[in-house]
Structure 1
Amino acid sequence: MAEHAQEFLDFGAGVLALVSLTASVLWGLAAADRMLLRSAHRLLAQGVHRGLAVAGLGFLALHIWVKVAEGHVGAAAAAVPFTDRARPLLVGFGTLAGYVFVTVAVTGAVRGAFASGGRSRAWRALHMCAYPAWGAALLHGLHSGRPAGGWVTAAYALCVAGVAAALVVRLRGARDGGGVNA
């Protein structure tokens, strides 16, 4: 039983991190929608968005800890992007994405500090960095370790489809003057 749990953590924690962060992206997009959701619903969506982001970061921390503890990656390579000897680019994408996700979470938590002095654009720009980080995490997840199992590939495909569909809806709403903002 413990061996199965360890094996799952070895390969599942990263998948759970990406799926949780994807769900956070989707709920963040929903929370920003002013055409479909009323204010109270947007507040609920923001709460779900934040909760999923925290869960995603927790799974990410677990993923990193397990990979370092089992010797799949060195602590230095986990901390410094693009320094892994075996897979510098792919592990580096994961490391860099992790830093961006943490930065987005921290700036999201202190969003109020960006509310004055015309700094809301800076907050939006930082928050939008989650999209390229998510793409880097997806590449990392699919190609940096063992070949992805069918369920992992399916989960990642659903993540891509969900984010693509939500972005299309969001961009159409912005183009049509629907008042959608970040």
Structure 2
Amino acid sequence: MPASRLRTALRPALPAAVLLFLAVAAQAGAPQRALEFLDFGAGVLALVALTGTVLWGLAATDRLLLHSGHRLVAQAVHRGTGVAGLGFLALHIGVKVARARTSGTAAVVPFADDGRPLLIGLGTLAGYLFLAAAVTGAVRGAFTSRRGSRWWRMLHMGAYVAWCAALVHGLKSGRPAADWVTAGYMLCVAGVAVALVLRLRAPRRTAGPGAGPPGGDAGTSRAAARSARHTRGARS
């Protein structure tokens, strides 16, 4: 039988196979097990993804080891892990509220939880700071002025504060962490600390007439500088 006819014959059976799979999975208790995993795992996945976001964000600013093409790749991974981290964070919040681990009010208002206001509040505060960093990163073209650049850096640097708050929240607000989880968190701390030290020790780049918004592409800035020199040459 030709492959095209085989695909046509099997196509009606695909929805039935999917429904059968879902029925067997529900009978085996897969949804409940998945919910139990997400009850603790979604927060860990969010922290891992957001740790990657911080690390790749630091890598995207490196000018000692990386060239402009490498920094563009680092920026793309930085954005991708940020979106994944926010997705896992939303899932983490939804599962915790659905399972009555905290209230909807505490998930929205920092430090409003009845049982553990400080630890739950740190998680809520971290979520807002991460969201602010993500939004300002997505619209960084609106912060091209000198004053806007300062505001962009202040809001974006809030991701470091959010990451520290999320780390404390993850370690202390839930069930006691296993040794390997604690070791993993410590490795995350060490990685971010090393990357941050290298970033602070890197020579600062003097902004020229064509410098773009903070965190912008180096190639774009160089192109703008060449355009400015060409304009000045034409005028002379």
Q: Give TM class, smaller chain.
A: over 0.9
Cα separation, 2, equivalents of 1:150 and 1:76? 32
Cα separation, 1, equivalents of 2:119 and 2:89? 16
Match of 2:48 in 1: 19
Count, aligned residues = 179
Match of 1:28 in 2: 57
Match of 1:87 in 2: 116
Match of 1:45 in 2: 74
Match of 2:176 among 136, 144, 147: 147
Cα separation, 2, equivalents of 1:157 and 1:117? 37
Cα separation, 2, equivalents of 1:170 and 1:179? 12
Cα separation, 2, equivalents of 1:20 and 1:158? 14
Secondary structure of residue in 2 paired with 1:89: helix
Unaligned runs of 5+ in 2: 1-29, 207-213, 216-236
Greater than 3 Å deviation, 4+ residue runs: 178-182
* Preserved CA contact (<8 Å) 1:19 1:155: no
Question: Residue 169 in 1 paired to residue 198 in 2?
Answer: yes
Secondary structure of residue in 1 paired with 2:177: coil
Match of 1:7 in 2: 36
Cα separation, 2, equivalents of 1:87 and 1:143? 10
Unaligned runs of 5+ in 1: none
Cα separation, 2, equivalents of 1:117 and 1:165? 29
Cα separation, 2, equivalents of 1:164 and 1:145? 25
Q: CA deviation at 1:178?
A: 5.4
Cα separation, 2, equivalents of 1:7 and 1:148? 16
Q: CA deviation at 1:157?
A: 1.4
Match of 1:127 in 2: 156
TM-score computed with the length of structure 2 as normaliser = 0.72
CA RMSD of aligned residues (A): 1.6
